[in-house]
Amino acid sequence: MQKKLLVVVAMSALFGLSGCGLLPEKTDETAKWSAEKLYAEAREEMAGAHYEAAIKLFQRLEASYPFGTYATQAQMEIAYAQYKAQDQAEALASVERFIKLHPNHPQVDYMYYLRGLINFNDQIGFLSVIYSQDPTERDPRATREAFAAFKALADKFPNSKYAPDAIARMNYLINAMASYEVHVANYYYRRGAYLAAVNRAQNAVSDYAEAPAREEALFIMIRSYDKLGMLPLRDDAQRVFTLNYPNSRFLNPNASGDAPWWKFWSKSGPKPAPKDALK
């Protein structure tokens, strides 16, 4: 009985092996596609928001036709598709690769702009959790990196069609960074760390002079100096404050200034981020 069982097992294995040999191998139908067809199919996948499929086709295009104009275009498309797929790490890597390989490409400004957008959307993701988590516990690194990326575009390509949008985003990010400093200062003030509150408020005043959050920063400095007993510094801050903001809401005795910082837009609603200039 055992011998018969061994024979059956052996025969099954042989049939299995022979069956594998008889089945046709799976072929890649894209292998013989022209560059034009690969690009057209990839763009169609992009139009349908099938970003992973589009990326694979663009990568096949770049690998199969590495020296044509389509290959360079595919590199840009890959970065954009990764950005749309919210794969920020891969998108940034693709952008940096393109800039390194093609620093003088006529559309390299687009890649600088895309680098800013990738970091900008990471920063928006950072803001998206502010209702559930105190943002003073988070590092706004993406905000600074997005600002640096847009600034690089504006400095290198001032006549780029993307420059106006980059500048608008820079202004938006300046306000975001200033607000972050102010609300960290409020965080310290509420906990009695008045010297730390002064230092963070001073950062907002000195680094973001044009930001609306500067008003509250000065107000925090006044209160913190008062708590520390530094009356001359308090009075100096008060003079600057009243000179620049004579109608400030913080001069209202009923204004506490201690509301959670993530509600800084509560009176007028959140200011929307600029829309992407990319089509």
Confidence of residue 131 (pLDDT cuts 50, 70, 90): very low
* Chain-centroid distance, C-alpha 157: 21
pLDDT higher than 90, residue 27:
no
Confidence of residue 266 (pLDDT cuts 50, 70, 90): very low
pLDDT at 128 over 50: no
| Domain 32-100 fold | 1.25.40
The pLDDT of residue 155 is above 50: yes
Residue 278 · residue 80 · CB < 8 Å: yes
Answer whether residue 108 shows pLDDT above 70. Answer: yes
Per-residue pLDDT tens over the stretch 163-196 = 999 999 999 889 888 988 998 999 999 999 999 9
From the list 184, 188, 169, 77, the residue with the least C-alpha distance to 123 is 169
Which pLDDT score, from 0 to 100, does residue 200 have?
Answer: 95
pLDDT per residue as tens digits for the range 210-259:
889 999 999 999 999 999 999 999 999 999 999 999 999 887 655 544 44
pLDDT at residue 260 in the model: 43
- How far, rounded to the nearest angstrom, does the alpha carbon of residue 8 sit from its chain's CA centroid? 62
What average pLDDT does the chain have?
81
Distance, CA of 220 to CA of 198 (rounded, Å) = 7
Is 178 in a helix, a strand, or coil? Answer: helix
Tokens in use for 228?
């520390």
Tokens of 145: 């990196």
